[in-house]
Amino acid sequence: MEFVASVEGRGGRFGGDGAALRVRGLVVSIAKREESYIGSLRVEGSEGASDVREVHAGECAEVSEGLAVIAAITLGPQGRTGSGQSAVASEGTDQASTGAAVGKAQQQRPSEDAAAEPRLRGSAFGQDKTLEVAAGTMRFDGVAHYTLMVGGEFGFIPSVVLPRYDFVISRANFVTPPSAASRLVGQVLQVDLTWLGPATHTSGDLATRAYGTQAALRSCAGLTYDMDGLTLLGCAEFGLG
């Protein structure tokens, strides 16, 4: 009811003469995305459905105010609802008179750079098979990590430690809905290339020089995977050396 009152307070009429006679319904939704809000509005009229209009802002009230402005223009005397046409009047008197409220909401919209690099995190467990999302852009990301590790390895030869160098390539896939947090999709795949040694073992007059190589392919379940935090993987490995 507050949204209806806000629309009517800006000159929109849900009944009577004018554009309201051509409007069969307004589909309005507001959802939280990370630290901001995104609202969408679609007009269903006698000539078809309009394009989806979106408003982004840091506060829910600002998004609601922006959507109310769009709805008021649509339901005003000059409103248009035809298929493929914007629910907002083109640049003109009506937009100029109400643009301040929409402009206030748009000022809170995250920058393109921030939207281009969302925080990616997820888990292979505890996620629903289906997810209801609001209208908007679905984002798919493939994240690659390259890791170089240096250590030592010892085995059955007494007092011999082989230097070990590992180069690991890791790949994880994420999907980010328009109004929800990102989700890890499928397995995390890793390729591990290893070089061992060299090291020398001496026994009496006999000296043995040891070194080796190894290549491994891992399939990992992400117990937790956070681009900016903790990552835990459970892996199965097949390797040759």
Asked whether 228 and 185 are in contact (CB, 8 A), the reply is: no
Please state at what angle helix 93-106 crosses helix 60-75, rounded to 10 degrees: 170
Closest CA to 104 of 72, 63, 54: 63
Whether the Cβ atoms of residue 121 and residue 185 lie closer than 8 Å to each other: no
* Span 55-60, average pLDDT: 85
Per DSSP, which regions of the chain are E strands? 23-33, 36-45, 48-49, 53-57, 121-122, 139-154, 161-176, 183-203, 206-226, 232-240
Query: Of 106-115, 152-161, 165-174, which has the strongest mean pLDDT?
Result: 165-174
What pLDDT does residue 10 have?
Answer: 78
| Helix or strand (DSSP H, E) at 70 | helix 60-75
Q: Count the Cβ atoms, other than its own, within 10 Å of residue 39.
A: 25
Domain layout of the chain by residue ranges: 2-112, 118-240
Question: Given a cut of 90, is residue 235 above it in pLDDT?
Answer: yes
52's CB contacts (< 8 A; 6+ apart) are 40, 41, 42, 135
Distance from C-alpha of 236 to C-alpha of 241, rounded to nearest angstrom: 17
CA-CA distance, 144 to 152, in Å (whole number)?
26
111 has pLDDT over 60 = no
Structure tokens that stand for 200 in this block? 């020398």
Alpha-carbon distance 122 to 188, whole Å?
12
Q: Which two tokens mark 117?
A: 């690099």
Q: Is 58 left (phi over 0), alpha (psi -120 to 50) or beta?
A: alpha
- What was the pLDDT predicted at 173? 93
CA 101 from centroid of its chain's CA atoms: 28
Summarize pLDDT for 163-181 with one digit per residue, the tens: 999 999 999 999 888 777 8
